[in-house]
Chains A and B, each alone.
Chain A
C-alpha cells in the first residue's frame, strides 16, 4: 500500500530521533572528529627528526663537512660538543643522543646504540657519506657522480591527507553498524516492530528507512569531516577525483549497515516474553 509515504515518514522519524540523540551525535560525528584534531594536530606538521650527534674532542672531518655543506647537512644532523667522553657515551646509552663521534688520526669513530636501529642506521649512513666525500676532497679530484632524490607523492601529502580518510572510514563503519543494529533492537524491545507490522506499511519500508537515514548520516559525516579538515589549521587539500569519495562512502555504509542489520537481528532475538 502506501509504500513511498511510509518510507518518507519512517525515515523522517528515524532521522529526527537520531539528530535529537546527543549521545549518538557525539559518537558518530564529534568523537571521530576529536581524533582528527588530535592526530592531524600532533602529526600534521611533523618533519624528519634530526640525528643528534655528540662530538668529543677535535673531529676535523666532521667540522669541515658541516662547514662545507651548511644547511643541507644541519637540517638532518645536529652536532653538539661534549667535553667528557664518558658522559657523552652515557647520553647515547640512555637515548638522549644518537651517537658520539671522535676522531683518532684519520679514523672517524662513531659510537651508536642498537636500541634504535633506525637511528643507528641513519647515523652510520650519514657519517659514512661524510667520510667518503672527505676522501674525494682529499684526492683533489672533482666528484663525478651526484645524487638527486625526489618523492613520488606530490607536495600536498601531509599527515592530514591520510588521517582524514582513515578516521572517516572508522566513523562510517561504527555509525553504520551501531545505527542499524540499535534501531532493530530498540524497536523490537519496545514493541514498535510488532506495532509497525500491524500497519499497512510494507516491511521493506522499515529497512528502506534505515538505509536512507544511514546514507544521509554518512554524507553528513563526510561533509563535516571534509569541512573541518580543510580548515587552514589542518590544511586538507582535495584534488583529483576526490568526489569519487561520495559513491565510495555510500557503498561502504551499505556494507557496514548490512553487518549491523545481521547483528541487530541476532542480538534482539530474545524479545521479552509477554503475558
Chain B
C-alpha cells in the first residue's frame, strides 16, 4: 500500500555534525506516529525536513505522494503544522488568531469558531493570546494547525512545559483528532506520552532510528523484569531474596523493591508474610526501553 509519509535515508549535516544520519520510516494513513528521543537527537530536524521547512542533504521524503521541498502550494493545505506555542500574531484574541490562520487557507470564520470549541477554548475566545495559560496557548496552537482540516498533522513536542492536568487535557484533544482518521506525527521526549498516544514509535538518537514499532511490542521485546515494591520494614532485602521467583531485592529505607519475572508468585509469598502494605507492581515501560537504547548517562 502507499504510505502517507515515506522517509528514506534522510541526512542533514550542521557544521561537522550529522544531525540526521540516515533515518528511514513509513507512516500509514490514520496512524499516530511518534518520534521519540533525547534532546539533540535530531527529532525536530527530521520533522522540519518532512514539513518542508528545511532541505535534506540526502535521502528522499514524500508526504501524500508529494515532495515537501521545494515549497509546494498543492501540499501545504493538506498538512497542518504546530510549531511553538508562541507562533501567534501579537495582541489578537484567540478567535481572531484562529480566523486569521483560517482565512489563509480560505476557511470561513464559522469553521474557525467550531475549532475553538473543539479544543475547549470557547470561553477564551475574546482573550488575547498573551493572556492565555501555557496549556491554553498550546491548545490554540494545535487548533491553528487543524483549522483547515488537514490530512496530516505534525506536532513538535506539544506537551513540553505543561503541567500534568494540561498535559492530560491535551492528550484527550490529540486522541480526538486522531479518531477523526487523520495521520499524526508527533515528536516528544516524554515516554508516557508516546506510550499513551502513539500507535508506533521510532526511538531516535544521534540522528539514527534505534528501534521502531508499537510501544507495547518494544516493551515486551526488552524482556525486562517486573518490579514489586512494598513498604520497607516488614521484610529485609536478604529475606526478600530468599522468596521464590525473586531475581533481586533492594531496600532504600522507604520501600523494598523486588525484581521478578514471576510477579504473581512473589505477591502471593509477600501476602503470606503480611508484607503487602503499600504494594505497587510496575512492568517495564517505554522509558526502560529508551534508557536501555540511549544509555543512562546524563547529556546536556
Residue numbers of A with Cβ under 8 A of B are 1-2, 5-6, 8-10, 12-14, 16-17, 20-21, 186, 190-192, 194-202, 274-275
Contact = CB atoms under 8 A, between A and B. Distances in A.
Interface in B38-67: 39-40, 43-44, 51-53
B92 A16 contact: yes
A274 B104 CA distance: 26
Interface stretch (B81-89, B117-125, B291-299): B81-89
Given A20-B128, A195-B144, A200-B73, 11 more contacts: A16-B91, A190-B87, A191-B83, A192-B87, A194-B83, A194-B87, A197-B53, A198-B53, A199-B76, A200-B77, A275-B39
Contacts of A186: 90
Contact of A198 (B43, B52, B86, B100): B52
12 contacts: A1-B73, A8-B103, A9-B100, A13-B96, A13-B100, A16-B92, A21-B90, A192-B88, A192-B89, A197-B71, A198-B79, A275-B157
B33 interface: no
B105 A10 contact: no
B43 A275 contact: yes
A5 B101 CA distance: 11
Contact of A17 (B39, B92, B104, B105): B92
B104 A198 contact: no
B94 to A, nearest CB: 13
B91 A21 contact: yes
B53 A2 contact: no
B233 interface: no
Contacts of B106: 1-2, 5
B81 A6 contact: no
Contacts of A274: 44
A274 B71 CA distance: 21
A38 B222 CA distance: 78
Given A198-B52, A275-B43, A190 B73 contact: no
Contacts of A192: 87-89
A196 B223 CA distance: 46
A179 B142 CA distance: 29
Contacts of A191: 83-84, 86-87
A191 B144 CA distance: 13
Interface of B: 39-40, 43-44, 51-53, 71, 73, 76-77, 79, 81, 83-84, 86-92, 96, 99-101, 103-106, 128, 144, 157
Given A190-B86, A200-B73, A20 B104 contact: no
A14 B88 CA distance: 11
Nearest to A186: B90
Contact of B104 (A190, A194, A201, A275): A201
Contacts of A202: 73
Contact of A195 (B40, B71, B81): B81
Contacts of A17: 89-92
A194 to B, nearest CB: 6
The 5 closest A-B CB pairs, nearest first, are A9-B103, A191-B87, A20-B91, A199-B104, A195-B87
Contacts of B86: 190-191
A190 B84 contact: yes
Nearest to B187: A275
B84 to A, nearest CB: 4
Nearest to B141: A195
A2 B89 contact: no
Nearest to B103: A9
B83 A195 contact: yes
A149 to B, nearest CB: 57
A84 to B, nearest CB: 69
B76 A198 contact: yes
A10 B101 CA distance: 9
Contacts of B84: 190-191
Nearest to A272: B84
B76 to A, nearest CB: 4
Given A197-B53, A200-B77, A9 B104 contact: yes
Nearest to B43: A275
Contacts of B104: 2, 5-6, 9-10, 196, 199-201
